[in-house]
Structure 1
Amino acid sequence: MTAIENIKGRRVWDSRGNPTIEVEITLENGKLGRAIAPAGASRGTREAIDLRDGGKHLRGMDVQKALHHLNHQIAPEFVGKNIEDQADLDQLLLQLDPSPLKSKLGGNAMVATSLAFLHASAANLDQPLWQRVSKLYGRTPSLPLPEIQIFGGGAHAGRRVDIQDFMVMVPGAKSFDEVMEITNEIYFAAGDLMKAKGQLAGVADEGGWWPNFDSNEEALETLVRAIEKAGEKPGDRVVISLDVAASEFGKDGQYKLALEDRDLSSAQLIELLGQWIADYPIASIEDPLGEDDPEGMIEFTKRFGDRVQIIGDDFLVTNAKLVKDAQQMGACNAVLIKVNQAGTVSEAIAAFEAASQQGWQSIVSARSGETEDVSISRLAVGLGAGQLKVGSFTRSERMAKWNEVLRIQDQLGAGAFVQGAPLHNTFWAQKGQ
């Protein structure tokens, strides 16, 4: 047994310039564990609360309330506790705040603490975090297939286009390095195309190009042309992935495409997305329908689940029960894993395991408000999750996470890269790749 000697919370700052929480845990042997809470702009209504102070100071975004809870309610309860059992530590956290959305202490305080437990336990054993995760949860580590944003949209770009993320995946690459090279070419080709049309207007929250388009289809067309300009054949080594984030522009089965001033029913949105699937090399779609539209999600999965990966994000909020419910309903066939969405590492792992038990794929994901913390890269590798989504190809809080996988590649070897294996139930598989 190795006991926790001290827990300290501090205010730090995220990639959007907002305050967030860092937790530092010191063990009795002097080893340290440290983690930072990310923050999302597009948030499901059932995910853990990002507790903010409100009021005018720092636009209401300060975290002094959550920090006070951390330093005065959470920290004293854990001094002297054994760092070796993540499940027990997380369970005590949940006993301190049993509210469904972590509204008492704040999901931001809780997730930073839970991740710091994991870091400290790895440090205690002199193991890299990915190895600690692999051994703790009995998983075979692997290098994940990246999902990388080229154009940002939705809540990440002032809702300039309705679709939140236009991304590429390179399941045909032979190594993680090759994914980075190909994505580099596509990313800057997209910027060149926008510059040539006078549409280059900077970058969105996660580093993708600002979407200066007249329609959502124009973004898709430009992405296809960027893939071609990079010397690739769309649908060959490179495929497209979308995060629709439909809850951001839909309610009660009715959807408003503001860019095009179009009102769509659930059935009409399904038809529109189905047409895109037919017209473009799309292998993955996240949240195609709203979190309050289970009938629409079931219908979409019924029609397109044998062709594309259908990811639940706001629809499932990294919740094991919601994953199991969706499996029974026939909604989605993959889950996005965001630790801060659940609130603790153990709850996120439970959602991951619920998905895995039924053959679903998992995508470990960052948030739009990120930091230099690279925990999720290590989690994705250690769990053998298969896929990782951290944003775009620029901005250091994003590249830090891609670069961490490259460092781990030096330890695991390039042969640990999953290539297109996680896309077994998609467009990619149907091409016979």
Structure 2
Amino acid sequence: MHSEIMILPIGASSFQEAMQMCSETYHHLKVIIQEKYASVACNVGDDGGFALNISSITECLDLTKEAIDRAGYNSRIKMAIDVGATDFCIGKKYDLDFKISTKSGQNFKTGEDMLELYTKLCTEYPIVSIEQPFDKDDWEHTKLFSALGLCQVVGDDLLVSNPKRIERAINEYTYNALLLKVNQVGTVTEAIEVVKQAQDAHWGVIVSHRSEETEDSFIADLVVGLGTGQLKAGAPCRAEQLAKYNQVRYS
């Protein structure tokens, strides 16, 4: 699977405390990776997160959970997954080994199989949010998963911050949260309108950065101005990410 594991400091009483909790957990994770895989495994990806050559999603979740435990935030930090399922959906099946050329095509899962997998993961790990669990056109299984009420189900590729697709998703109870990317919808005015649309439906809203970011910190002002309470800006590592968090602190 192509997955991004995130941590959510839901037990923090302030933004400063939230940053401290996440930063400490991030550095504990680095130590754990060094212990298990050696220092060479501590390379980071575009978003500042550790990019490991691991065998399964559970291996990654176990590492993250151990880091949370070592940092002492067992009950105060929860976990989230950005599945990015569109990337490995072929036809109507999901190729969990799509990045492994020698195994690609040998580990196909149906939508029903993926439902079972997410249900299992939410039961075994402190996962409170899953982003894009199914393909960009897989309305059926997304609705079925949202109906389970296991966690926040966040729409990205299926919604693309488009008001018409959001309206359909609201009417059909497809999601309960929106991932807002300003450049998807086009303008700041349009972004504000779709946030209001989502909030009127009692959805959560996550203001998100994009890959290959710069140090522009506008989304930090946007998340504060719109009061969404959720910002996805990458790990506390590189200047592109830290610029956003520093700006939130002073907004």
2:73 equivalent in structure 1 = 232
TM-score, normalisation: structure 2: 0.93
Provide the rounded CA distance (Å) in 1 between the counterparts of 2:223 and 2:90: 32
Deviations 1:271-294 (A, max 9, x none): 111100000000000001111111
1:351 Cα deviation from its structure 2 partner: 1.3
Residues 1:209 and 2:54 are matched in the alignment? no
How many residues are matched?
Answer: 243
The runs of 5 or more residues in structure 2 that have no matched partner are none
Q: What amino acid is the match of 1:407? A: Y
Contact kept in structure 2, 1:252 and 1:292, CA below 8 Å: no
Contact kept in structure 1, 2:5 and 2:79, CA below 8 Å: yes
Provide the rounded CA distance (Å) in 1 between the counterparts of 2:142 and 2:136: 9
Deviations 1:224-268 (A, max 9, x none): 1111111221xx111001100100111343100115752100110
Provide the rounded CA distance (Å) in 1 between the counterparts of 2:79 and 2:14: 18
Q: What amino acid is the match of 2:57? A: N
Contact kept in structure 2, 1:255 and 1:266, CA below 8 Å: yes
DSSP-derived class of the 2:26 partner: helix
Deviations 1:144-163 (A, max 9, x none): xxxxxxxxxxxxxxxxxx23
Q: Among 190, 195, 198, which residue is 2:29 paired with?
A: 190
Residues 1:164 and 2:9 are matched in the alignment? no
DSSP-derived class of the 1:310 partner: strand
DSSP-derived class of the 2:5 partner: strand
Provide the rounded CA distance (Å) in 1 between the counterparts of 2:245 and 2:216: 12
1:201 Cα deviation from its structure 2 partner: 3.8
Q: Among 350, 372, 376, which residue is 2:193 paired with?
A: 350
Contact kept in structure 2, 1:253 and 1:296, CA below 8 Å: no
Provide the rounded CA distance (Å) in 2 between the counterparts of 1:253 and 1:241: 25
Provide the rounded CA distance (Å) in 1 between the counterparts of 2:229 and 2:162: 19
Provide the rounded CA distance (Å) in 2 between the counterparts of 1:369 and 1:186: 24
DSSP-derived class of the 2:233 partner: strand
Contact kept in structure 2, 1:184 and 1:393, CA below 8 Å: yes
Deviations 1:340-362 (A, max 9, x none): 01111122122111101111111
Provide the rounded CA distance (Å) in 2 between the counterparts of 1:353 and 1:168: 26
Q: What amino acid is the match of 2:213? A: E
Provide the rounded CA distance (Å) in 1 between the counterparts of 2:52 and 2:80: 16
Provide the rounded CA distance (Å) in 2 between the counterparts of 1:201 and 1:384: 34
Q: Among 15, 18, 27, which residue is 1:176 paired with?
A: 15
1:273 equivalent in structure 2 = 118
Provide the rounded CA distance (Å) in 1 between the counterparts of 2:132 and 2:126: 18
Contact kept in structure 2, 1:313 and 1:335, CA below 8 Å: yes
Contact kept in structure 1, 2:2 and 2:87, CA below 8 Å: no
2:96 equivalent in structure 1 = 257
2:225 equivalent in structure 1 = 382
Contact kept in structure 1, 2:30 and 2:42, CA below 8 Å: no
Provide the rounded CA distance (Å) in 2 between the counterparts of 1:371 and 1:197: 32
2:80 equivalent in structure 1 = 241
TM-score, normalisation: structure 1: 0.55
Higher mean alpha-carbon deviation, 240-249 vs 257-266, is at: 257-266
Question: Counterparts in 2 of 1:347-426, with a 5 A limit?
Answer: 347-408=190-251
Q: Among 318, 324, 341, which residue is 2:184 paired with?
A: 341
The runs of 5 or more residues in structure 1 that have no matched partner are 1-161, 409-433
1:298 equivalent in structure 2 = 143
Contact kept in structure 2, 1:298 and 1:330, CA below 8 Å: yes
Provide the rounded CA distance (Å) in 2 between the counterparts of 1:345 and 1:178: 30
Instruction: Report the structure number with the largest CA radius of gyration.
Output: 1
